[in-house]
């Protein structure tokens, strides 16, 4: 059985600090058991995702090590603007590197101002404390120039990674010039991937990559639609986990597992079987991405007898919306297709960015939500600045909004609980 495999030699080989890594896995395992395994009426299909999480630093990392031994490259990313399609086409494996836990904060603050968002501090902390086997497995780490925090942090971070580091210049307006900049970034990335992998990206390989990534997204669209049912067939915590595993797992196996889960959810809906009774207050979360193991706000919301039915987030529908067209006879045409799709991502680093509020309202309406909680990480200027605009747009569409700014610490949990409980009472039908 997998739990008998001793991964410590592999972790040591990757250069991890085994004692600190043990401490991290200990906390992660305990938190996971408390938050996820205690939920009632979970779909059986979540068993696969429980397994993935139990092996998140084990089996999956071994797969990456084996893939590299077989000649593939591993590419680490921090943003949904880095197209997995290109990585797959270059015989690569794409993994998300954002981290969602306070770890190594003191160390991180030697390099970063204290008033840096928790997400950036976290990936610095994981790297400095040598506890992230994904980061240590990367041949290439791509850091995208989006918010000022990330942009400046990568100047330091680029020197800390063991593989190669590439900064990807992204636009901040949805103009023609912005579109051209994004295309240039994808052409540069294509060249870097080809050089590092020694594999030319062809029309066939890029089409295959597009189809694989589209299939993943289609499965997520299906899951999002099924969550519109009342009673909700799956908890928001479990759905968030599925969205988080999106960034780590083997894409084909992942798509098959999500579709299997969706088959089960369809049967549940038919039987009116839910994770919470019908008419339980329904909430959509909108805002900053929640990377593993950032489950703080969703656990508070669902602990307050509400159910989360959608996420306007990069770890959610902002990240998975829209497909890439497969038509085209040249690599450049297919890259144009990538640009067409990725340029629609309404990250708050774009200005203006009114489509995000419209999308949030649409998600809330489709999911028959009673309220929306805007989740901003402290010191995240783009999302915190955009929050009042989004709040006005969503409230004028008839959906009450609660704005929460927080970080990864547990210090404000009781205060958040009080605010969320009051909001849930306010929106109860």
List interacting residues with ligand BJ8 (CB under 6 A).
79-81, 117, 119-120, 146-147, 149-150, 288-289, 314, 345, 347, 349, 377, 380, 382-383
**Minimum distance, C-beta of residue 319 to ligand BJ8, in the bound complex (Å):** 7
Are 289 and 117 within 8 A, CB to CB? no
Q: Which is nearer to ligand BJ8, 274 or 316 (CB)?
A: 316
The phi, psi pair for 144, rounded to 5°, reads: -95, 140
Q: Which is nearer to ligand BJ8, 7 or 379 (CB)?
A: 379
**Minimum distance, C-beta of residue 81 to ligand BJ8, in the bound complex (Å):** 5
Q: Which is nearer to ligand BJ8, 80 or 275 (CB)?
A: 80
**Minimum distance, C-beta of residue 294 to ligand BJ8, in the bound complex (Å):** 11
Range 44-77 burial, b when 16+ CB lie within 10 A, else e: ebbebbbebbbbbbbebbbbbbebeeeebbbbbb
Torsion of CA 29, 290, 373, 276, to 10 degrees: -40
Alpha carbons 156 and 124: distance in angstroms, whole number: 10
**Minimum distance, C-beta of residue 192 to ligand BJ8, in the bound complex (Å):** 19
**Minimum distance, C-beta of residue 109 to ligand BJ8, in the bound complex (Å):** 15
Q: Which is nearer to ligand BJ8, 56 or 120 (CB)?
A: 120
Name 179's Cβ contacts closer than 8 Å, sequence gap at least 6. 171, 339, 343
User: Nearest to residue 163, comparing CAs of 205, 207, 190, 132?
Assistant: 132
Angle between helices 413-427 and 296-303 (to 10 degrees): 50
**Minimum distance, C-beta of residue 381 to ligand BJ8, in the bound complex (Å):** 7
Q: Which is nearer to ligand BJ8, 36 or 375 (CB)?
A: 375
Three-class secondary structure of residue 140 per DSSP: strand
Strand ranges across the sheet with 307-312:
307-312, 282-287, 371-377, 401-406
Q: Which is nearer to ligand BJ8, 92 or 382 (CB)?
A: 382
Bridge-partner residues for 286, per DSSP?
Answer: 312, 374
Q: Which is nearer to ligand BJ8, 156 or 202 (CB)?
A: 156
**Minimum distance, C-beta of residue 151 to ligand BJ8, in the bound complex (Å):** 9
Alpha carbons 228 and 310: distance in angstroms, whole number: 8
What is the DSSP code string of 330-386? SHHHHHHHHHHHHTT---TTSSS-HHHHHHHHHHHHHTT-SEEEEEEETT-HHHHHH
How far is the CA of 189 from the CAs of 17, 81, 186, 193, 194, in angstroms? 31, 12, 5, 6, 8
Q: Which is nearer to ligand BJ8, 104 or 289 (CB)?
A: 289
Are 194 and 200 within 8 A, CB to CB? yes
**Cβ burial, residue 397 (10 Å; 0-12/13-18/19+):** middle
Q: Which is nearer to ligand BJ8, 133 or 289 (CB)?
A: 289
**Minimum distance, C-beta of residue 115 to ligand BJ8, in the bound complex (Å):** 10
**Minimum distance, C-beta of residue 380 to ligand BJ8, in the bound complex (Å):** 3
What is the DSSP code string of 28-49? HHHHHHHHTTT-SS--TTHHHH
Q: Which is nearer to ligand BJ8, 130 or 150 (CB)?
A: 150
**Minimum distance, C-beta of residue 153 to ligand BJ8, in the bound complex (Å):** 8
């Amino acid at each position: 059985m997998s739990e008998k495999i001793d991964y410590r030699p592999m972790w040591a080989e990757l250069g991890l600090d085994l004692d600190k890594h043990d401490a991290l896995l200990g906390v992660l395992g305990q938190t996971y058991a408390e938050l996820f395994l205690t939920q009632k009426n979970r779909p059986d299909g979540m068993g696969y995702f429980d397994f993935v999480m139990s092996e998140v630093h084990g089996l999956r990392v071994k797969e990456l090590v084996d893939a590299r031994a077989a000649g593939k490259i591993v590419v680490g990313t921090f943003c949904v603007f880095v197209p997995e399609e290109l990585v797959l086409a270059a015989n690569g494996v794409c993994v998300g590197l954002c981290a969602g836990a306070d770890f190594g904060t003191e160390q991180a603050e030697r390099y970063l101002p204290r008033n840096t968002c928790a997400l950036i501090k976290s990936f610095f902390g994981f790297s400095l404390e040598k506890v992230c086997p994904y980061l240590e497995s990367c041949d290439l780490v791509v850091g995208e120039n989006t918010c000022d925090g990330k942009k400046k942090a990568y100047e330091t971070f680029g020197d800390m990674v063991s593989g190669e580091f590439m900064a990807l210049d992204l636009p901040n307006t949805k103009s023609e010039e912005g579109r051209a900049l994004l295309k240039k970034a994808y052409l540069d990335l294509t060249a870097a991937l080809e050089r590092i992998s020694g594999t030319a990206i062809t029309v066939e390989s890029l089409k295959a990559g597009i189809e694989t990534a589209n299939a993943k997204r289609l499965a997520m669209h299906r899951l999002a639609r099924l969550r519109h049912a009342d009673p909700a067939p799956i908890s928001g915590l479990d759905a968030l986990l599925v969205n988080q595993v999106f960034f780590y797992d083997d894409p084909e196996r992942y798509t098959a597992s999500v579709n299997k889960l969706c088959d089960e959810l369809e049967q549940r809906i038919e039987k009116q079987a839910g994770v919470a009774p019908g008419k339980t207050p329904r909430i959509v979360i909108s805002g900053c991405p929640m990377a593993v193991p950032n489950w703080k706000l969703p656990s508070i919301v669902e602990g307050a007898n509400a159910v989360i039915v959608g996420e306007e987030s990069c770890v959610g529908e902002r990240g998975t919306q829209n497909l890439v067209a497969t038509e085209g006879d040249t690599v450049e045409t297919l890259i144009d297709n990538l640009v067409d799709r990725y340029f629609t991502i309404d990250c708050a680093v774009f200005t203006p960015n009114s489509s995000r509020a419209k999308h949030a309202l649409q998600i809330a309406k489709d999911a028959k939500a009673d309220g929306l909680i805007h989740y901003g990480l402290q010191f995240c200027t783009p999302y915190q600045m955009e929050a009042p605009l989004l709040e006005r747009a969503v409230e004028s569409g008839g959906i009450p909004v609660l704005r929460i700014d927080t970080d990864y610490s547990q210090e404000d949990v009781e205060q958040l609980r009080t605010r969320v409980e009051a909001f849930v009472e306010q929106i109860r039908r």
